[in-house]
Amino acid sequence: MEALIFDTTFLIDFQRERSGSRGGAHAFLQDHAEAVAYLPMTAYGEFAEGFPNRTDATFLSVVESFELLSVTRAVADTYADLARALRLKGKLIGSNDLWIAATALEREMALVTRDTAEFSRVPGLKIKGY
């Protein structure tokens, strides 16, 4: 069974599509209906920022579909190595995106994102755009 990690752009698009016309996020989920969906804590936090509290019904209805992934020491080590390598190449990406990428790399899972240009700077990261 396919295991996928989702970033914040996906969560935002999925939420917006729920209140309007269905788009790329919903289509991606339909095409990968058998996949196990994981959410890094960093993406959870970024998404949660847009809501007044964590008991908001819309917030819960989106995030409860995902299994949350904690930041482990292995993820933190991957983050440090990745940040250093990208900084030396002059290709550093945003800090939260680095944490999300490190989680995907350490877990050896593909990352689902709309922001393929940013994440394509990360060597070895499997990316699935939508």
Sorted by where each begins, the domain ranges of the chain are 3-129
Q: What is the pLDDT of residues 64-103, one digit of tens each?
A: 999 999 999 999 999 999 999 999 999 999 999 999 999 9
| Residues 115, 101 contacting (CB under 8 angstroms) | no
The pLDDT mean for the chain works out to 96
| Residues 1, 36 contacting (CB under 8 angstroms) | yes
Task: Please report, for residues 85, 103, 107, the alpha-carbon distance to residue 77 in angstroms, rounded to integers and kept in the order given.
Answer: 12, 10, 13
The pTM of this model reads 0.93
- Give CA–CA dist 111/128, Å, rounded: 6
Domain 3-129 coded CATH 1.10.3720.10: no
Token pair for 10: 């996906």
